[in-house]
C-alpha cells in the first residue's frame, strides 16, 4: 500500500487514517535509525519552511529548525508580536489590519510550507487558535503544519505514540492513565487531547482522571469514548487522584490543564485554585502499583507538582525519548506533505 500525503495540511491526527499515521511513524523510525542518510538530505533542497510562533517554545522551535536543516531546507522564524488577534463584526480574524486571506496568499508565494503555534495566551476563546490555523490552510496551497494550537498538537501526539511503541511494542490492549496534575502553569488541553484521541484510535484502553471541575471539552471526551468502543477497549472516568494507578496501567501521563472557566476567571485565579489540589501528583509509590508503567509527558515538566523528580528522572520516565522523537516525526511529516515522499506500508497490518 502506497501512502501519498503531498500537499496535505497536518492540523489534527483525527483527519488522517490509521494507515496514514502508520506511514508517518514508519518513516520516522527509518529517519531516526539512519538520521544523516543522503536519502533525506535533499528532500527540502532550496525550500523554505515558515514558522509562526504566537507563543514561545523550546523543543518545538529547535526540533522544527533541525528537521528543516537535516532535510536540506531552511526554517524561517517569525514571532508576530505586533499581529494582535481580534475579530471583525463578521467574525473574521484580523492581524494588524491585514486579513488572513491576504497574509496567507502572499506567504504562499514565498514558502513551501508553514508551521503555526498558537495557544491559549494568544486567543480570546477556546478554539480560536485552531480556527486561525484552518483559515491559513484554506488560503494557502503550501501545507500548513500545526505546531500546537489550543485544541490539537498532532506532532506531539505522534511522537508520544512512537515512544510508547519503542518501549512497549504492540499497543493494542495496553492501558493509558491520563491524569490531571496540580501546578502553577495553567496549561492548555492540546497535548492531552491529542494523546488520548490518538491512543484510543490505536487500540489502548483509556483512564481519564481529574478533579471535579476540570472536565475536558465534551466533544473530545465523547470521541475518545467512541474510539475505545470501536476498538473493543474500555474508557473510564475517575475523580480521585489515587484510584487510577492500578496493575493494568502501562503508561501514565500526568499533566496540568486549566478548568473550562479559564477564559472567564483568568490565569491568576486558575493557578491559585490548581495549586491547592496537591494530592494530584504522580509519584513513585503510585507508579509501583502499575504494570511496570512508564511516565510520559510532552514537556516542560512542572516538577514537584505534576510529578516528582524521582519519577521524572527515574528509569520509568521516557520523556527524553519522546522529546527526541519530535525531530524525527516532524521530519517525516515535512518529507511526506511538503516534499511529497511516498511511503509503502504493509496492508496486512490493518
Q: How confident is the model over 289-321, as pLDDT tens digits?
A: 999 999 999 999 999 999 999 999 999 999 999
* Cell 502553569, located at residue: 185
Residue 89 reports pLDDT greater than 60: no
Question: Do the domains at 2-153+326-349 and 156-322 have one common CATH topology?
Answer: yes
Here the cell at position 268 is 491568576
User: Which of 176, 154, 153 is CA-nearest to residue 164?
Assistant: 176
The pTM for the full model equals 0.94
> What residues form DSSP beta bridges with 118?
149
* Cell 504492540, located at residue: 170
Residue boundaries of the structural domains of the chain: 2-153+326-349, 156-322
CATH class of residue range 156-322? alpha beta
Q: Summarize the confidence of residues 32-61 as an average pLDDT.
A: 95
Residue 118 reports pLDDT greater than 80: yes
Point out the least confidently predicted range of 9-18, 53-62, 233-242, 323-332: 53-62
Residue 167 reports pLDDT greater than 50: yes
Compute the mean pLDDT over every residue in the chain, rounded to the nearest whole number: 94
Distance CA 303, CA 96 (A): 38
The pLDDT score that the predictor gives to residue 86 is: 55
- Domain 2-153+326-349 sits in CATH at 3.40.50.1370
Amino acid at each position: 500500500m502506497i501512502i501519498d500525503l503531498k500537499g496535505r495540511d497536518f492540523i489534527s491526527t483525527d483527519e488522517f487514517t490509521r494507515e496514514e499515521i502508520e506511514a508517518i511513524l514508519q518513516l520516522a523510525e527509518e529517519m531516526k535509525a539512519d538520521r544523516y542518510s543522503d536519502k533525506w538530505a535533499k528532500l527540502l533542497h532550496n525550500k523554505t519552511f515558515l514558522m509562526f510562533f504566537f507563543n514561545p517554545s523550546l523543543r518545538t522551535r529547535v526540533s522544527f529548525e533541525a528537521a528543516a536543516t537535516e532535510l536540506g531546507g531552511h526554517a524561517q522564524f517569525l514571532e508576530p508580536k505586533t499581529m494582535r488577534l481580534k475579530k471583525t463584526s463578521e467574525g473574521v480574524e484580523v492581524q494588524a489590519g491585514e486579513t488572513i486571506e491576504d497574509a496567507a496568499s502572499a506567504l504562499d508565494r514565498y514558502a513551501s510550507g508553514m508551521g503555526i503555534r498558537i495557544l491559549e495566551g494568544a486567543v480570546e476563546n477556546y478554539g480560536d487558535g485552531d480556527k486561525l490555523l484552518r483559515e491559513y490552510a484554506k488560503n494557502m496551497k503550501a501545507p500548513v503544519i500545526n505546531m500546537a494550537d489550543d485544541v490539537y498538537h498532532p506532532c506531539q501526539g505522534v511522537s508520544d505514540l512512537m515512544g510508547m511503541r519503542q518501549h512497549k511494542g504492540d499497543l493494542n490492549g495496553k492501558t493509558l492513565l491520563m491524569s490531571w496534575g496540580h501546578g502553577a502553569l495553567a496549561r492548555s488541553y492540546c497535548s492531552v487531547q491529542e494523546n488520548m484521541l490518538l491512543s484510543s484510535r490505536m487500540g489502548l484502553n483509556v483512564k481519564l482522571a481529574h478533579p471535579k471541575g476540570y472536565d475536558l471539552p465534551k466533544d473530545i471526551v465523547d470521541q475518545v469514548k467512541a474510539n475505545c468502543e470501536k476498538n473493543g477497549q474500555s474508557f473510564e472516568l475517575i475523580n480521585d487522584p489515587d484510584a487510577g494507578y492500578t496493575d493494568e496501567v502501562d503508561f501514565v501521563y500526568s499533566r496540568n490543564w486549566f478548568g473550562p472557566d479559564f477564559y472567564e476567571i483568568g490565569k491568576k485565579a486558575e493557578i491559585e485554585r490548581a495549586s491547592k489540589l496537591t494530592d494530584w501528583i504522580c509519584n513513585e509509590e503510585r507508579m509501583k502499583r502499575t504494570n511496570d508503567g512508564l511516565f510520559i509527558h510532552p514537556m516542560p515538566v512542572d516538577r514537584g507538582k505534576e510529578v516528582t523528580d524521582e519519577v521524572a528522572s527515574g528509569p520509568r520516565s521516557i520523556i527524553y525519548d519522546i522529546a527526541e522523537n519530535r525531530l524525527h516525526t516532524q521530519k517525516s511529516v515535512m518529507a511526506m506533505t511538503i516534499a511529497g515522499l511516498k511511503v509503502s506500508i504493509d496492508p496486512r497490518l490493518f
